[in-house]
Structure 1
Amino acid sequence: MRTNHIALTAAALALAGLFAAGWALSPLRAPQNSHKAGTAEPAVARTSFPGLVAASAEPRLASLGRLTPAKGQVVQAPGPFDERFSMRDLTFNGSSVSGSATITSDVSDILELEALAGFYDADGHLVGTARFTYHHDESAGHPDLSAGHTPNELEKFSIAVPANVRGDAVAAAVGVSVLVNE
């Protein structure tokens, strides 16, 4: 009986020691005096990858600078996701450009989509840009595809000409600079 009591005590002490060591070495526990007075510890983890530079601006499409659409024309600007969607019904009415993008690479909901528009003057020079951003509402949850839900593969967009180039913009180009789907 005494042997069982000693073994149980030893096991409890070993467990307490493991807990204390885990707590002391935990990366979630802030080390003492690790930050300056009056500053708070960051609330999120910071990750870096060798050779990968963090984004410093909104996504762009280099092709917008190379296009020269004619007055009244709207064209699709080439981008990195062109093989994953089709763009249709592009129209430009002088104050906005509109159209739609349909996912063609697979059958899944659109999670993020950004359409970037370039606006051009009568000489075909790029005079401004604007963007449309769609962000899937995660609070709505994920639909049950087995229950007959059809994935949202189509996103319609409308992008207004920026106020500072209204009157100068006579043509447009649109491309997709961000596309995330399931």
Structure 2
Amino acid sequence: MKTFATLALASAALLAGCAAPGQPDTAAPQPVSVQTALPGLTAPTGEPGLPSLHEAHPKPGQAIQAAGPFDDRFEIEGLAFDGKDVKGTIRITSDVSDLLELQVLAGFYDADGTLLGTARFEHHLDESEGHQHAGPPSEVEEFSIAAPAAAGNAVSAAVGVPVLVNE
């Protein structure tokens, strides 16, 4: 019985500090300190890259897919390089939702498979049109990436996706 009384007294003391239901809390909010910089961590600069472009060595005439962080969320169809442009279609497979941001990074290579240069294709959702839910969401994006002037002797290409954001 003594244990029950002690427990009841402790519970009453805890509840005494709580405001009654429907009563506003009159205590002033306390400022919160938030750390916005982490020592030793620098903010990224520039565009995202794909280390796999440096490891790819496509054979002359080839257009191949380079590994990237989102490979399990899309498929590339119709990938081809004509000596000037690498083209293909990205089909989102992870879910059916609007494509918000997409970046396709292409590497261009000489006859020995040496990376000569890179270029990118970017898709940004046009938010001025608002969200259009009347029709099916866009899940396919065609891309074409021209070889940069520095890759004038390019005979092959590799593409990967460093940025993919969908709803």
Question: What TM-score results when the alignment is normalised by the length of structure 1?
Answer: 0.70
Q: Does 1:82 align with 2:82?
A: no
Q: Aligned match of 1:112 in 84, 89, 101?
A: 101
- Deviations along 1:90-115, one digit per CA (max 9) or x if unpaired, are 01000010001111000101000000
Letter of the 1:117 counterpart: A
Q: Name the amino acid aligned to 1:174.
A: V
Shift of 1:53: 3.1
Please state how far the C-alpha of 1:179 moved relative to its aligned partner.
Answer: 0.4
Superposition RMSD in Å:
2.4
The correspondence for 1:99, drawn from 83, 88, 98, is: 88
Closer, same or farther: CA 100–48 of 1 in aligned 2, 3 Å: farther
Distance 2:124 2:36 in 1: 25
More helix by share: 1
Provide the C-alpha distance between the structure 1 equivalents of 2:68 and 2:42, rounded to a whole number of angstroms: 20
Indicate the residue corresponding to 1:4 in structure 2: none
Among candidates 142, 145, 152, match of residue 156 of structure 1: 142
Counterpart CA distance in 2 for 1:53 and 1:137 is: 31
Match of 2:36 in 1: 48
1:176 maps to which of 148, 153, 161: 161
Q: How far apart, in 2, do the equivalents of 1:58 and 1:163 lie?
A: 19
Separation in 2 of the partners of 1:162 and 1:70?
Answer: 19
**2:103 alignment partner AA:** E
Q: Gaps (5+ residues) in structure 2?
A: 1-34
SS at structure 1 position matched to 2:157: strand
Q: How many residues align?
A: 139
Match of 1:24 in 2: none
Which residue identity does 1:177 align to in structure 2? P
